[in-house]
């Protein structure tokens, strides 16, 4: 893979639907070279891409919402890791600014359904806000399968 588009758009048009689109990404942890697969990565949702200029250097950055890994191993039934939105001590979503060079690739999250029915009012554009936990889909494509184990 040479190129991949990761979107962070407050207003995205898909057919007749106008809604925000904030893609999820795999981010290299500081110990990325020492850890295998998901143990060396984190999951986040990109809210904004921006850059700033300081002392002659331009720094490309991303504002992100973090997801925390649930457990130390993938789910035994399907082999996918489980993540859930991460919150700070005040109950707000954990937000950070990162350098874009720490982004490895896009990530595909699948909601984890429980036994209760989903309300009809939940729109597919609100999936990442409507569910409490997600599978990191390593079966999305060949590259995801190779690195998200």
Q: Residue 34 pLDDT > 70, yes or no?
A: no
Q: What residue has token string 């979503």?
A: 93
Pick the closest to residue 137 from 129, 145, 125 (CA basis): 145
Q: Residue 83 pLDDT > 90, yes or no?
A: yes
Report pLDDT for 32.
65
Count CB-CB contacts under 10 A for residue 66.
Answer: 19
pLDDT band at residue 1 using 50, 70 and 90 as cut-offs: low
Query: What is the CATH architecture assignment of 8-147?
Result: Roll (2.30)
Per-residue pLDDT tens digits for 130-142: 899 999 999 988 8
Cα(149)–Cα(143) distance, integer angstroms: 11
Percent of the chain having pLDDT more than 70?
97
């Amino acid at each position: 893979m040479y190129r991949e588009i990761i979107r962070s758009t407050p207003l995205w048009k898909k057919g007749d639907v106008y809604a925000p689109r904030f893609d999820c990404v795999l981010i290299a942890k500081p110990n990325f070279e020492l850890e295998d697969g998901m143990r060396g990565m984190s999951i986040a949702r990109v809210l904004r891409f921006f850059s700033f200029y300081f002392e002659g250097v331009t720094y490309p950055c991303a504002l992100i919402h973090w997801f925390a890994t649930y457990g130390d191993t993938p789910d035994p039934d399907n082999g996918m890791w489980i993540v859930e939105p991460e919150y700070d001590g005040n109950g707000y979503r954990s937000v950070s600014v990162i350098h874009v060079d720490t982004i490895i690739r896009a990530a595909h999250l699948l909601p984890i359904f429980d036994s209760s029915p989903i309300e009809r009012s939940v729109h597919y554009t609100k999936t990442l806000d409507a569910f409490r936990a997600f599978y990191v889909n390593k079966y999305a494509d060949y590259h995801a399968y190779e690195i998200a184990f």
